[in-house]
Structure 1
Amino acid sequence: MKVDEAFDTIDERISPTSSQAATAAKRVAHFTEILEGLGPGVKVVPSGSWARGTSLGPIHDVDLIVVFPADQQPTWGNGSGTAQEALDHVQQAIKSHLSERYGFSYVWDTEPRNHVVKCRLDGKFVIDEILFPGFAVEVMPAIRDGSALRVPEAHDRQWATVDPEYLIAETARRQREWPHYTALVRLLKHWAKEHPELGFSSLAMEVLALKCIPRPPLFGSMSRAEALRGFFTAAAAQIMKGVRDPSGRCGEIEPGIKRRKARGEFLKMADLAANAVEWEKSGHEFGDDIAIHFLRKIFGKRFPRPSRDWSDYLIDLWWAEMHRTGPEFRDAPHDWNQRFQHSEGPHEAREPPPGQGRTGGDSPDEGPQGPRGGPEDGPKWGPNGGPTDRPGGGFPGANPAGPWSSGAPRNPTRPTEGGPQSGGRGHREAGQPRVSSVARSGGVSLGNPGGHRKGVPTASPVYAPAAPRPDDPAG
């Protein structure tokens, strides 16, 4: 299975079915017909995820805004008592007109809330001990105020200025720029639904997606895995600033989000998405399967399974093998004579094996260099292949794991956690793949950030390091 096929499959699983969409459209049409008949100039504006095309299945409710002309309701939009009055007016109109047209059983219940009148069209029912809330239409009265709307807040006995049409228009524009935008928003909403402990509402995740999903390059393409990597990387920083109304009308949307916890999850997901991107682009025989393996770690069991299941350890070895058999590995010196010839500084050449002095004699004691292969009055060579006066026995340009690793240059496109010449852990930007001990021995690891299984070697058995000298303490 290709990565694009896996994304298409998960989108089909989490999207509303055609019958659910048809039912919702039919009921929206019924409400629109009744509400626009309340007076001249009354308009119904679809709102919410239904209007933006980002609904998750099954559809339990749709949102409608009924916009009244200001001259028809001159007292609305201001005043302490008119907010509840507007909600009551809409509730009575729905109950009377819909009942006359479609019968009393069409609307099972109506309930005024803070901003909307919730109309339940089906009673609650239970199937296999699961409670289904039925279908509901939420209707919000409003007065037009320029490009924005004035809507009631019954709890505070006032009117608020909002602009839900801005998010609808921006979502449509992003969909035109990149055809996978709304599908990716649905997938991120599904992810948030699977992590209720973070406190994301559906609207908050859509607004964060609008802010953090990258735009495709002007003269190029962007895969969905790349968009995920970009989203989680940007969201890890953005979430600490809060999720605010993109139209600038309402301030923060969801104050209850656990920001620090969400940031930690976003960083983890950015690492997994980065791994998926690298494997999708790797050209490896099983690259798509392994990319799906990492994407399934992000989205859980509803994401399609790869054609084959791989252990993280095996993925590590494959990645190390791929990056140690490229041109930079093939062109690197692999025997002692070549390594000595390629040295560029007084301490960069490795000590020759036992029995070969630096002058080409049969004994390390031959020649003017002395018994340790260096000047008698110079620094002694440390156990890790470098002079003892260098930290850790290292030497310039050497692999920090010591002289007995592969000697292959590190992949310049794959930064390690501590930098290209460090063997320890250091600063790592969000979205960069984690690196395990394979990376610190010449390869790069992606699949097992926490370390390898006990008793399993961390170097590829296909490209094992050279055997150590008998007198080398590191061996």
Structure 2
Amino acid sequence: MSLSTKTYPSLSTNTYPPLEQLLEQARRRIEVTAPELAEARTRRSEVAEILRNEFTGCRVYCNGSIAHGDALTPLVDVDLGIVIPDPGHRYGPGKRGPSELKERAAEALRTGLREKYGDLRIEVKGRKRSILIRFRDPLRPGWEDFTADVIVAIDNPYARGLYIPRWDSWDRSDPETHTSLVLDAIEKTDKTYSRTIRLLKHWARQYDKPALCSWHIKALALGCLTRPTSLLTALEIWFDYAIAELNQRDTPDPAHVGPDIKTPDNDRRAAIRRLEKARDTLHEAISLEQDGWGVLAHEALANFFGDPDMLPRPERAKVIGQHAARLRARRRPDHRAAAAVALVPARPAVRSWAP
């Protein structure tokens, strides 16, 4: 989506607060709103109810950004799955594929949603896994159409997890455990996990082809964001961990059921280069703040996200002025040290060990 279509609350650029405060302001600007969530959940519930009526005894699970607590604004899609009873074990690898179940679910959804949404479109053919519902009814005027991805699944009778569609056959997966792991991480980190994921997902959006999909970002975060931290620290931890992991291997399924999570086009080197470049920009911002150059740190953090609506850049005149001051300070180390002392707020002494 182009930046011109985004609408965020205003953010004053009269002052240049610490990077952590800038991140807090930025993540609030991209956080999904209560009205968006309410409408999306209403549509998700409508889809779920139709499927429950069609497949007696099924269970519905929710996944994706709403279920995981990291949805961004504007909210334009929702994800859910239905696990269909298969007491006769007629479906699964080496047996019947998912096409029959997907077509049946799609027809039920067409019939059940048409009265309210009219000219909606439901796509099945040519889709690897999900049924795609195009409501043709955006949540707000001027936004993209709102969609829903519906996965038709069956229980795996022989091992943990589910069988989910892969074209005309099946893959193993465990999306219910994925959601459980994410929610547990949010609780253990006092929401640092979900807030950091929001920032990372938005960072990835600046590229036409993100280095990692949203689930890949979350899966890597499950391995490194395990306690409450500041957002700035969490971003540092994630980038360092993600780069180290991808340098070794594809990312294992956190539920230890499905296949490894791969990078786009299975090109890990390209993904790593993108992550390294972003990490370097983030480290530059942190270093500038530590050295007392707050305006330049702000500029570097804005460069990191590449979205002036989400994180406005500082005034150009102030950036130029601090660049000049920094150049002068480099020629006079004593002046640079004095500038750093004057510009960085004093921090209380913290003991890193216990007696």
TM-score range, shorter chain: 0.7 to 0.9
Partner of 2:133: 119
Change (3 A) 1:322 1:167: farther
Partner of 2:111: 96
Q: Which one of 301, 309, 313 corresponds to residue 319 of structure 2?
A: 309
Change (3 A) 1:78 1:262: closer
State the alpha-carbon separation in 2 of the partners of residues 318 and 169 from structure 1. Answer: 52
Question: Structure 2: which amino acid aligns with 1:120?
Answer: R
The two structures have a TM-score, normalised by structure 1, of: 0.58
Q: Which has the higher helix share?
A: 2
Partner of 2:302: 296
Task: State the percentage of identical aligned residues.
Answer: 25
State the alpha-carbon separation in 2 of the partners of residues 85 and 75 from structure 1. Answer: 12
Question: Structure 2: which amino acid aligns with 1:23?
Answer: E
State the alpha-carbon separation in 2 of the partners of residues 196 and 290 from structure 1. Answer: 27
Deviations 1:358-408 (A, max 9, x none): xxxxxxxxxxxxxxxxxxxxxxxxxxxxxxxxxxxxxxxxxxxxxxxxxxx
Task: Provide the aligned length of Structure 1 versus Structure 2.
Answer: 309
- Higher Cα radius of gyration: 1
Match runs of 1:137-286 below 5 Å: 137-145=148-156, 147-153=160-166, 155=167, 157-178=168-189, 179-197=191-209, 199-211=211-223, 213-216=224-227, 222-240=229-247, 241-248=249-256, 249-256=258-265, 258-278=267-287, 280=289, 284=292
Change (3 A) 1:44 1:275: same
The two structures have a TM-score, normalised by structure 2, of: 0.75
Deviations 1:412-445 (A, max 9, x none): xxxxxxxxxxxxxxxxxxxxxxxxxxxxxxxxxx
The structural deviation recorded for 1:215 is: 3.5
Question: Does the 8 Å contact 1:86/1:152 carry over to 2?
Answer: no
Deviations 1:453-472 (A, max 9, x none): xxxxxxxxxxxxxxxxxxxx
Deviations 1:78-118 (A, max 9, x none): 4454321111121122123334xxx1644611111222211
State the alpha-carbon separation in 1 of the partners of residues 31 and 94 from structure 2. Answer: 42
The structural deviation recorded for 1:52 is: 0.8
- 3-state SS in 2 of match to 1:305: coil
Is 1:84–2:99 an aligned residue pair?
yes
The structural deviation recorded for 1:62 is: 0.8
Question: Does the 8 Å contact 1:269/1:298 carry over to 2?
Answer: yes
Deviations 1:226-258 (A, max 9, x none): 222222222222223233422232223335154
State the alpha-carbon separation in 1 of the partners of residues 215 and 94 from structure 2. Answer: 29
Change (3 A) 1:321 1:292: farther
Change (3 A) 1:141 1:279: same
The runs of 5 or more residues in structure 1 that have no matched partner are 327-475
- 3-state SS in 2 of match to 1:140: strand
The structural deviation recorded for 1:276 is: 3.4
Change (3 A) 1:86 1:3: same
The structural deviation recorded for 1:322 is: 7.4
State the alpha-carbon separation in 1 of the partners of residues 214 and 271 from structure 2. Answer: 15
Which stretch has the larger CA shift, 114-123 or 76-85?
76-85
State the alpha-carbon separation in 2 of the partners of residues 292 and 95 from structure 1. Answer: 50
State the alpha-carbon separation in 1 of the partners of residues 272 and 129 from structure 2. Answer: 31
The runs of 5 or more residues in structure 2 that have no matched partner are 1-16, 340-355
Change (3 A) 1:292 1:108: same
Change (3 A) 1:317 1:236: farther
Partner of 2:351: none
